[in-house]
Structure 1
């Protein structure tokens, strides 16, 4: 009795753990609540495979139960041997044909979906963005618009946005599970995919390929806004003046320190090409500091003072003169005033934690 009680307790504990874990996650960081074309297609394939596996499991379980109950050893029939079906051609054909049919049932829609998601027929007439994966951040170059941004990718709702994805160092993988599948970013070649968001929102993106000590911290966001807001954002980004002077005295001092410490050697503001570090255009509207921290001045100061403690292995550590906390606060004040557009994550409904 105690043996069975131990097994029952283990089963209940595992069931409780499964229920708790099933509630973990973020609303806009899940493939199980698709809000984009690619994610919806992937979900359809997942449901199909689950239905097939469930049907097979139920049928096998029923046959197994019947066999166990009907042909179990019974008192007085210890030597009974049921009719043997070894060599039955009909049965062998049936249980060979059924798996083959199920493979085709799953394979055909899967192949159709793969080719559908890889279709680039509309690429030339659509928005195109060059996506570059770096350790441990993402850069976005809007082709034909002279717009460069990092970490936050703005897209219009209901439109296909084609991404030419490549890496500047090791292999990464671009993944926004709520609106699309993932695509590897390789150093040697360009991979192309498209994303299409159905709803406005701020969607979490991840690097899905182990790429170093801060792989799990290589986050980014896709901000899906209305077409009118996207057009306004594009216009705002085109009119960014990187030499514009802040009105605030502290921020003005911060700009001087930013330039004096040669931060522009690695970063850029405006449409300058990708550099060693992220583009800082529109930084005040960034959804996160270093891709992972709440976008507050305090967190930005901590990042400037000691980036290695926040993102181990980053390329910023040791590549700029040491600054005091007071200087870091002034630089942070300057960056937090780089507000180049009224279209921001709040326009898309804000960040859902």
Structure 2
């Protein structure tokens, strides 16, 4: 008897543990899903015309799928309830409807109609969002009306060139609100994919050809967490694919024009003895790969650092602090495996940078700003 009770107790305990495992899983899933609605990152909170139209298409397709699931579930339940053996008996065979012309027409026509309902807006939006004819529009004085950005994806960072403005930046895209912004997308090494979840669907960046599309942004990003929207690489491109983020700062057109002019005219001058020392180290070790002027063209080996002090992240994913700047410079490979930034020994006569050198470099880099 005692053995039987013990076995029953153990069985009850096992069932209880399984329930708690399920509850724990649901709790973890709830925490995970709580991050899916963030305004700066989620496709469920569209921040522009393209994103809203794609979101509406998502709602339409979800609604159609939900209707199909509900109808099938109702038929399934009715069949189980109506023809259960306890109700109709053991030897009853329901009426056979195999080969029914009526049923064949119903389950052929209805899916076709549902596909048509889904296909019409899908095709319409596809052609609408692919229309980049406005990219070449000019005003009465012959100046381009729209902002065009040449996006180049690299392992593992993003370069943004504004060809009509003569400026280049990296890791942080700055765009005006309430107008179409056109993009020419390409990759410098392997295939990547340009994606700003709140603004619209992703577009591949290829080595062999240029893809084009446009996005719009309805609101300024200043009120968001970190003051920016988040952009991602949506194509598995290597060991640090998940760390290939960029930020999008949206401002009104007047502020954008001021920013663009500042980018073209700002000349960085080191302030203070420590920053001056950092500039000297930078000039001898880093300048071959990194530009510090926003004016120019794309094609740098490393990211343009003209706005480094204005960013909120180091290498796209670490908080912008002097400590993180030093950690990144001292060992980039451990933080972002597979990236092309050389280790300190390769650019500093075979030695690691000293703590004093790292302090000086961090001070200089944090001072590279066009907004402060």
Same fold (TM over 0.5): yes
Residue number in structure 2 paired with 1:346 = none
> Aligned partners of 1:9 and 1:87: how far apart in 2?
50
Contact 1:305 1:325 survives alignment (8 Å)? no
Q: What is the TM-score of this pair, normalised by structure 1?
A: 0.91
Contact 2:292 2:368 survives alignment (8 Å)? no
Residue number in structure 2 paired with 1:147 = 167
Q: Secondary structure at the match of 2:133?
A: coil
Q: Secondary structure at the match of 1:115?
A: helix
Q: 1:156 aligns with which of 176, 181, 187?
A: 176
Which one has a larger percent helix, Structure 1 or Structure 2?
A: 2
**1:49-198 alignment to 2 at 5 Å?**
49-74=61-86, 77-125=89-137, 126-198=146-218
- 1:23 equivalent to 2:34? Answer yes
**Cα pair distance change 1:12/1:80, threshold 3 Å:** farther
Q: 1:240 aligns with which of 266, 279, 285?
A: 266
**1:274-293 alignment to 2 at 5 Å?**
274-293=299-318
> Aligned partners of 1:233 and 1:275: how far apart in 2?
21
> Aligned partners of 2:87 and 2:118: how far apart in 1?
46
Residue number in structure 1 paired with 2:224 = none
Contact 1:237 1:341 survives alignment (8 Å)? no
Q: Which structure is higher in RCO with an 8 Å CA cutoff and minimum separation 6?
A: 1
Q: 2:359 aligns with which of 326, 329, 332?
A: 329
- 1:269 equivalent to 2:292? Answer yes
Q: Which range is displaced more, 74-83 or 303-312?
A: 74-83
Shift of 1:19: 3.1
* Matched length: 338
Root-mean-square deviation (CA, aligned residues, Å) is 2.0
Q: Which range is displaced more, 313-322 or 116-125?
A: 313-322
- 1:320 equivalent to 2:347? Answer yes
Shift of 1:77: 2.1
Contact 2:188 2:207 survives alignment (8 Å)? yes
> Aligned partners of 1:9 and 1:269: how far apart in 2?
56
Residue number in structure 2 paired with 1:348 = none
**Cα pair distance change 1:10/1:57, threshold 3 Å:** farther
> Aligned partners of 1:250 and 1:10: how far apart in 2?
55
- 1:32 equivalent to 2:44? Answer yes
Q: Secondary structure at the match of 1:23?
A: helix
Structure 1 gap segments, 5+ residues each: 343-353
Residue number in structure 1 paired with 2:280 = 256
Q: Secondary structure at the match of 2:203?
A: strand
